[in-house]
Structure 1
């Protein structure tokens, strides 16, 4: 005999909200792109410096590559990024420029990549090196040493940093599948770096990567990003863990398997890049020489 109660069973709750909990101008990719192409720092510096940090395999190098793709409207393949890395692909402190048009013409902002943070105390980038980079003390090409920070007598120590050497925006990059499950020691590392940045008044925000791999609804349609209940909960938990407000946390999908430009991928990348630039512009306008 059939169970009559099954006729009245409630449907499973939807994994998405009916309306997005944050708006994004999906149709205004060209407007965002033009804004970034027209941007010039309102101060006599060569560029805004954006420093990326976060756990191993979070997608820091892939984000730089994706920014390059979005701004140049083609798959560029630079810088290289290793897929599914169990150890940090980035070993050195490297700063990347994005080509703008003619040879020698670059966007007036740069992205500095760092070795990944790791859960264990003696693995990954030394947090003190991130702090030194914030102050402009680390020269490009420095090889990170998990066991010790950069020494002041090293050839890679910048004793007299200029405004161009100092970091103007700090960006924490974390993957969606682990953002809400960071260990206590890992959270302590992030908070320690954040405290130094706050003391220097450097603006901070976070990027949540690999959102399509963590949420089937987003994988099905990237425009579900701000309808996803899973992602909203993940961002809220991450915010509570590290203290970055949710309105300073932005989800992106990096280019990974695509061989052609995708407008929706670009829209997310360009929207967060504009936020980064606006944060940095406000900082350099107010910073002391």
Structure 2
């Protein structure tokens, strides 16, 4: 059974793990931020134990400006191709070698990435270093060349705009959250960018938070399904979202 693989990448601390936990919150638990250091596949459980939704999130170490910190761009490219096994601990100073026991020499369609999601914090996107933005661009161009659809989610929108913090429903009216500026910075079209607020200290679910998360999630799965379906129709043009 094919599971859509959604790979989340972006700067360290942008909220990748929190987004995964927030999706899970719609079903069960409350999230906590974490700084991921390994290649980790996350399944989302349905109501009954042992049953899962037909998509998985792959979380990776965050990008950082220094060459010897954060995940390497080449490792992300290999991950998109399905060459990295679950549990691989990233080494910022070096790319995984083919001799590593976590290197997957024969990736299946299930191992490959079907959707690439760039996760960026709306409140500090303007502070991203040129080096980090360049790394994100390299990843985006590699995904484009592979035909992998991609989109972006803007996290921490409540910290970026007081009006949104007061009422999440103001997100689409906010002058502080100009998606056009973010689109230019990231090189991702406006219609492929989704503002979200992750769960943090909330002890109950919130319809307004859920609406934004589900909107982004629906687009991710739609993109992934289109990509996989197009693999079986080689004459069709791929919907890359770029």
Work out whether the TM-score is over 0.5: yes
Q: Determine which of 271, 275, 278 is the counterpart of 2:219.
A: 275
Which aligned pairs between 1:220-259 and structure 2 lie closer than 5 A? Answer: 220-232=166-178, 235-259=179-203
Is 1:58 aligned to 2:58, yes or no? no
Q: Is the 8 Å Cα contact of residues 154 and 195 (structure 2) preserved in structure 1?
A: yes
* SS of corresponding position for 2:6: strand
Q: Take 2:128 and 2:33, find their aligned partners in 1: how far apart are those partners?
A: 23
User: Which residue matches 1:46?
Assistant: 2
- Structure 1 counterpart SS, 2:228: helix
Q: What is the aligned-residue RMSD (CA, Å)?
A: 1.3
**Unaligned runs of at least 5 residues, structure 1:** 1-44, 83-88
Q: Quick check: 1:112 aligned with 2:50?
A: no
Does the Cα contact within 8 Å between 2:158 and 2:164 map onto a contact in 1? yes
Matched, 1:121 2:67: yes
By how many angstroms is 1:182 displaced? 2.5
* 1:179/1:208 contact within 8 Å kept: no
Aligned to 1:13: none
Q: Give the CA deviation at 1:183.
A: 2.2
TM-score by length of 1: 0.78
Aligned-residue offset at 1:121 = 1.8
Moved over 4 A (4+): none
Tell me which residue corresponds to 1:160: 106
Is residue 2:136 matched to residue 1:190?
Answer: yes
Describe the superposition over 1:67-110 as per-residue Cα deviations: whole angstroms up to 9, x where unpaired.
Answer: 0112x1x4x146x523xxxxxx1011000000012221100000
**Partner Cα separation in structure 1 for residue 62 and residue 130 of structure 2:** 17
Secondary structure at 2:138 match in 1 = helix
